[in-house]
Structure 1
Amino acid sequence: MTAPYSGRCNCGAVSVTITAEPVATRQCWCRQCQKSAAGGPTNNAMFPTEAVELEGLRGDYVYVAASGNVLTQEFCLECGTPVLGRSSARPQFRTIRLGLLDEGHGLGPAMAIWTEEAPPWAVIDPALESWPQQPPPPNVSQQ
């Protein structure tokens, strides 16, 4: 599938419409993502902020990540479905959780990041580009 992408949380209270292709798709193994993903990684697609339209009430959790950036994780206030992440270092992007998108979106991670924080039992696809910590920002020409 190609843009536009759409999706909603488990209860339908939060919905998203995205009018652009992702600039990156990632699997994140940082400890904060493991906590929000019940022990595994989060699987994400980064989109230009202006291409993401969200509706519905969301809560957020704000913290300073190991990268030193201030991260915000948003979730549905009704059902708790993870919605997105955003970073103070990259306000031009919204990192949408792939599970929020409607079935058939066709997106999957192209890289695994923060792999040094993955648990010993983690299975990380060797075909993915891998970064032990924070990778460089997506290529500006991809925006």
Structure 2
Amino acid sequence: MTESITGACFCGSIRFRFNQPPVAKRACWCRDCQYLSAGNASINLIFPLASRELEGEVRDYVSLSDSGNTMRRSFCPHCGTPLFSTSSSRPEMVVVRAGALDDRELGKPEGFIWTASAPSWGLTDTDLPSCPNQPPPVAAR
């Protein structure tokens, strides 16, 4: 059995757990993620939604992304910590913001997406795969 991956919001009123490893770990430079990450890339892990256990109530913000997908972004209504995203194109998966993980070392990206939207000073690791925009959907391993 895989060790649980856990995390929380800044104030601790929301806790979460996954009992499966992530299917992908990447840094996203899309403009929406830059807003959510104070101008930087958003570091994200992708899990099957069914594997998430959630304590506490999140609030959602729904918007249309540059990829044309409807995005539901979940955050703590008390402290505002961005926690999760789901996409209309793959509703069975959930994106988790690496900054909310208890073990932040788990957030090391395996690749970069939406690099065409990065500012000139935006950093990527040239040894890792990169995609200038939306990559194909990931599937559960």
- TM range, normalised to the smaller chain? over 0.9
**1:110-129 equivalence runs, <5 A:** 110-129=110-129
- Quote the residue 1:40 is aligned against: 40
TM-score when normalising by structure 1 = 0.92
Partner Cα separation in structure 1 for residue 104 and residue 119 of structure 2: 29
Paired letter, 2:47: F
**What's the CA shift string for 1:87-110, capped at 9, x where partnerless?**
000111010111111035533111
Deviation at 1:68, TM superposition (A): 0.6
Q: For residues 132 and 11 of structure 2, what CA distance do their matches in structure 1 show?
A: 35
SS of structure 2 residue aligned to 1:106: helix
SS of alignment partner, residue 35 of structure 2: helix
Cα distance change on mapping 1:126 and 1:33 into 2, 3 Å: same
Distance (whole Å) between structure 2 residues aligned to residue 125 and residue 59 of structure 1: 33
Counting matched residue pairs gives: 140
Aligned CA-pair RMSD: 1.3
**Contact residue 75 and residue 83 of structure 1 kept, 8 A:** yes
Give TM-score, length-normalised by structure 2: 0.94
Structure 2 counterparts to residues 61-76 of structure 1, below 5 A: 61-76=61-76
The runs of 5 or more residues in structure 1 that have no matched partner are none
Measure the CA separation in 2 of the matches of 1:24 and 1:39: 22
Q: Runs of 4 or more off by more than 2 Å in structure 1?
A: 103-107
Gaps of 5+ in 2: none
Paired residue type of 1:81 = T
